Amino acid sequence: MSEIDHSLRPSSLNIIYSSKSSNIMKAGISNVRFKNWSETFECVPELFFAPKTEEEIAQILELARGENKKVRVVGRKHSPSDIACTDGFMMSLQNFNKLIEIDKKQMRVKVQAGMKLSELNDTLYSHNLALSM
Ligand SMILES: Cc1cc2nc3c(=O)[nH]c(=O)nc-3n(C[C@H](O)[C@H](O)[C@H](O)COP(=O)(O)OP(=O)(O)OC[C@H]3O[C@@H](n4cnc5c(N)ncnc54)[C@H](O)[C@@H]3O)c2cc1C
């Protein structure tokens, strides 16, 4: 008896995979030119994504895995290097900017990974808190 080749997907799985991929692929924008804050580095990722849900993030990662692409997360583009640049998939977490929990007693806040510092400052201020310097 020959061994099962686990690298082969049953065709039904391929169909499920393709339909999910094509949905999220539509959300990807091509021809986006990324420039860092000081405009010293730039790149054009193959697709740029700004997911709104964790499910969308999972779909982008699944698509990247299937297409053998790397995913680079980008923040506010402030790095004075090309570290955020990619010719693969670029993903902004700009829509993940919510406060998750606040513990005034411990002076601790937990926020989503895409919150801007300016938004964090506003959020803290509204709770009579601030970043320590
Ligand atoms: C005017 C100016 C002043 C600065 N002052 C300081 C300073 O005082 N102290 C200091 O330490 N730095 C300083 N920096 C540098 C800057 O804070 C860092 O480069 C920081 O990483 C930039 O964050 P960003 O969100 O813009 O990241 P980006 O430049 O967008 O990305 C930088 C790296 O972080 C990764 N990344 C970004 N967001 C995420 C995420 N949500 N999840 C996972 N990975 C992510 C990217 O993939 C990339 O590798 C300054 C920069 C500028 C332009």
- Report the nearest-CA residue for atom 5 of ligand 1: 78
Is 77 a pocket residue for ligand 1 (Cβ < 6 Å)? yes
Is 73 a pocket residue for ligand 1 (Cβ < 6 Å)? yes
The whole-angstrom separation of Cα 90 and Cα 38 is 19
Q: What is the pLDDT of residue 10?
A: 32
Q: What is the pLDDT of residue 21?
A: 63
Is 75 a pocket residue for ligand 1 (Cβ < 6 Å)? yes
Q: What is the pLDDT of residue 19?
A: 56
pLDDT, tens digit (0-9, with 9 covering 90-100), for 47-105:
999 999 999 999 999 999 999 999 999 999 999 999 999 999 999 999 999 999 999 99
- DSSP three-state, residue 25: helix
Is 20 a pocket residue for ligand 1 (Cβ < 6 Å)? no
C-beta atoms surrounding 104 within 10 Å: 10
Selected residue with higher pLDDT from 22 and 64? 64
Q: What is the pTM of this model?
A: 0.85
Domains of the chain as residue ranges with CATH: 13-95 (3.30.43.10), 97-132 (no CATH)
DSSP type of residue 9: P
For residue 34, list its beta bridge partners.
Answer: 43
| CB-based contacts of 91-98 (< 8 A; 24+ apart in sequence) | 91/48, 91/49, 91/50, 91/51, 91/57, 91/60, 92/48, 92/49, 92/50, 93/51, 94/50, 95/50, 95/51, 95/52
- Report the nearest-CA residue for atom 43 of ligand 1: 73
